[in-house]
Structure 1
Amino acid sequence: MNNERKMSLWMLTWPVFLEMFLQFLLGTADTLMVSHISDDAVAVIGISSQLFNAVNILFMAIASGAGILIAQRLGARRPQEARLISIMGAKVSIGIGLALSIVLNLGAGPVAKLLQIPGPLQPLAETYISIVGSGMVFMAAMGAFGTAIRNTGDTRTPMYIALGMNVIHVLFNYVAIFGAFGIPALGLTGVAWSTTISRLLGAAAMLAVYRRSFSPGIQWRDWRLYDRTMFRETLRISWPLGVNMSAWCFTQLVIFAFVAMLGSKELSARTYMNTMESFCFMIGFSIALAGQIRIAHLFGSGEKEKAYRTAYQVMWIGLGLVFVNAFLLYAFGDKAISLFTKDGDIVALGVSLLAVNLLLQPVKMVNMAIGNALTAVGDTRFPMITGTISMWTVAVGCSYYLGIQLGWGLLGIYTAMIADEFLRGVLVGIRWRSRRFMRTDAVPAAAPGSTMTTA
């Protein structure tokens, strides 16, 4: 396969989308299986997942920053630098993951109390957090290796590995929950071990592929390599990504709390909407991530004008697909929501939100497409500053004012979310049209005296 075809939007997008979609389906199956243990088990996994998603940001920010530089260096035909950046990014990500594994394993009790988990669920939560938390290092390794592999243009192999890992996880869950092959039913403890073991196997598979993704192949002795200049460049891109990702994560938690203040029906409607909206999000995010990889390669190779036009190509393709999907959800929304609940009030709330969703998803697509384009050229501070301010003031502030204070309910909260996405989309759009990245070097020259050393 020639490099141009390998780096086309279609070849980059479909494996990312399929990976996310299969994980979504298997995650749903996972939840349904755990529900056979008890509602308490589902609640513990749901609350704990919020914690794991939040700490995941700490090492994924480094992995994402390294991934951008890998794509740029490969585009500039400097594969040795791309190789070194991938090694340093993986070392830091895995180091953070290992530290988190120790903290969560030894401090599961205090962490469970910090999450305000109800007293009766504390023992279950401590066990689950201790076991799954101890495997965060495997999650960090998967993220670092998978991101590096994708930014070489190979988005299919991580898809296959993720699929295999999730299938193994569901099979292990079946054994743990129902008992099979002479193994007794282990309940939530077995599910926790199933999660950790499947992540260990996934990390091992990713490592095997990662070591062959660069030329020459990565050897164990290469883990000692270090370059101060390139490491600082990785951190320069990574920390704004981490702040932006954290802001999104925590503002979503706050908004979810506002929805809970409205009542159980509103909370249920919002939860079901999250599930239904996820398909739109997966389409948009897959195209935006593929665009980010392609733009980073083009930028690194010096094809800046082509990189500039590609961002709009990604945006328009994404808008078309996302809008069609949002319209289909609206057209058949009452039937789709009825699969989850027979409560007429919740169905009515969900259908009304699907109408508003026709506005939310397109503005979100614009924000993702252009925001990821800025990230691809290394401009991560501007989206961080504008995004953090907008998410906390517009998304959170207006959600409370419109939804709670003025009594608009879910409609008010969705209106605030649309306004936030629209504002951020406009701001990153203006930034991209300014073509500031055209005036910077795609890949900086190595600093005088800069050498690779062993750590």
Structure 2
Amino acid sequence: MLAWPIFLEIFLQTLLGTVDTLMVSRISDDAVAVVGISNQLFGALTTLFTTFAGGAGILIAQRMGSKKIKEARTLAIMGVSASFVLGIAVSIFLLFFAAPIGGLLNISGDLLPLSNIYISHVGGGLFMVGLIASLGTAIRNTGNTRGPMYTGILVNVVHIILNYLFIFGVMGMPKLGLAGVAISTIISRAIGLIMLFVMFRRAFEIRIGLKDFLVFDKRLFREILKIGWPLGVNSSCWVFSQLIVYSFLAVLGSEALAARTYLNTLESYCFTLGYAVALAAQIQIAHLYGGGKTREAYKLAYRTLLIGLAVVMGNMLLLFLFGRQILGLFTQDPGILALGVSLLAINLILQPSKMLNMGMGNALSAIGDTRYMMYTSIASMSLIGVGCSYVFGIWAGWGLIGIYCCMIADELVRGLCVLLRWRGQKVLRKAEAERLEPAGTPLPGNGATTSFST
């Protein structure tokens, strides 16, 4: 019940990205390359101002599970406020420094004019992404997963229509090309932001007013930081590592960059349902954990993982069988097609590794064990995800295939680390002990044992 609206929302977001890629491919493959690397940059920066939203979301679900609704409301407000302030700062930076940013990303000189347009236009409105993410996170963690889904439907419809009008100059509109994609993105996001803000104000029993955004609770803010900053570092590490990998691809040339962008679009569909299940499970595990039902929370993580792996593997098998035909819808360039098809078999290993990492990682996040994930992410992503990608992909000359192999190794190592951490049950045992202690119940080691079995 929690997962299907999340799935539909993410599916529609993925569809929006696909429509962007498909329409932009009608401009040129160079334009696709610019959109691909720019979106990696936007994703990296978005994590910076959604850190508070992620930490607040977990705490909201825990407070809802323990029936502390007033604290959940305050946490939601502070998460949105922090995302707004940081988002404005990031948007101003992108708006005025698009040209030097393109140079830092190793974008070739002939692509820089396109990147300047896209980064300045879309980046200038990036604060809306942070607000949309924080509002949606707060709403979903109260248990309302349908509201963001309905918003996603409307945003997609508006975006597709505006893309068609602005890119191709239909119905008397100016033919703006890549700038049209940027304008369409900003308008559709603004509509989604307004809808989510209205829902957010009514998400709790006491309606949220504008004056409430001035509320600041030091104790709750410290709790958000305790969970949120490691979560933010973890997310930032992943996105920034992907951004660096994209800069490696830029060194390999626009063919490799476009092939990765096209394949990334197709991979998103394979992973969407698995990710939705993992995200729904995170909400439920946080509710269970907040309500003291630690054993149920422990078992739920494994059930989620099995369902997610089955779904992802089934989807990846379909992509492997029909991937060449689907890639042909985006481009007819023989070099890009050959690169994309060569990666389809490798994806049969990459996506299950991602599911393992995502499923168990979300479970750890739900109970607040985010610092462990941060440490493993920093080590694995820097050494394997980035370091080995450069060694094998660039220095050794393995190219895009070498980089993909390193991506698999990184996801698998991190997935196994979080799986072992979950099986150790350190945080769950500590929570159970704290819950039993006030009642005078003997703790493990004093004649009683606490057991969590799969």
TM-score, length of structure 2 as denominator length: 0.87
Alignment of 1:132-171 (within 5 A): 132-171=122-161
- Aligned partners of 2:180, 2:334: CA distance in 1, in Å? 37
Distance in 2, Cα, partners of 1:413 & 1:117: 19
- Please name the residue that 1:285 is paired with: 275
Deviations 1:247-301 (A, max 9, x none): 1112223333444555666555444432332222222211111111111111011
Equivalent residue runs for 1:223-302 within 5 Å = 223-259=213-249, 267=257, 269-302=259-292
Q: Specify which of 71, 82, 92 is matched with residue 61 of structure 2.
A: 71
1:173 aligns to 2:160 (yes or no): no
State the Cα distance separating 1:233 from its structure 2 match.
Answer: 0.6
Q: Which amino acid aligns with 1:230?
A: L
Distance in 2, Cα, partners of 1:119 & 1:346:
21
More deviation, 68-77/399-408: 399-408
| Cα RMSD after superposing both structures | 2.8
What is the rounded CA distance, in whole Å, between the counterparts of 1:403 and 1:126 in structure 2?
Answer: 28
**Cα deviation, residue 322, structure 1:** 1.2
Determine the structure 2 residue equivalent to 1:451: none
CA distance 1:114–1:345, shift in 2 (3 Å)? closer
What code does the residue aligned with 2:356 have? V
The equivalences for 1:34-113 within 5 A come to 34-37=24-27, 41-113=31-103
* Preserved contact between residue 41 and residue 243 of structure 2 (Cα < 8 Å): no
Deviation at 1:327, TM superposition (A): 2.2
Query: Is the CA contact (8 Å cut-off) linking 2:18 and 2:265 kept in structure 1?
Result: no
Q: Amino acid of the residue matched to residue 96 of structure 1? A: L
Task: Give, in angstroms, the shift of residue 71 of structure 1.
Answer: 0.4
For the pair 1:399 / 2:389, whether they are aligned, the reply is yes
Cα distance between partner residues in 2 of 1:105 and 1:403: 33
Identify the residue that residue 430 of structure 1 maps to in structure 2.
420
Report what 1:15 is aligned to: 5
Size of the aligned set, in residue pairs, is 435
CA distance in 1, matches of 2:302, 2:284: 13
Q: Offset of 1:43 from its aligned partner?
A: 4.7
Equivalent position SS for 2:2:
helix
| Of 174, 182, 190, the match for 1:200 | 190
Q: Is the 8 A contact 2:38 2:115 kept in 1?
A: yes
TM (normalized to structure 1)?
0.86
1:352 Cα deviation from its structure 2 partner = 4.4
Taking only the aligned residue pairs, the percentage that are identical comes to 54
Partner of 1:452: none
Name segments (4+ residues, structure 1) moved above 6 Å. none
- Judge which range, 17-26 or 284-293, deviates more: 17-26
User: Counterparts of 1:407 and 1:41 in 2: how far apart (Å)?
Assistant: 26
Cα deviation, residue 209, structure 1: 0.5
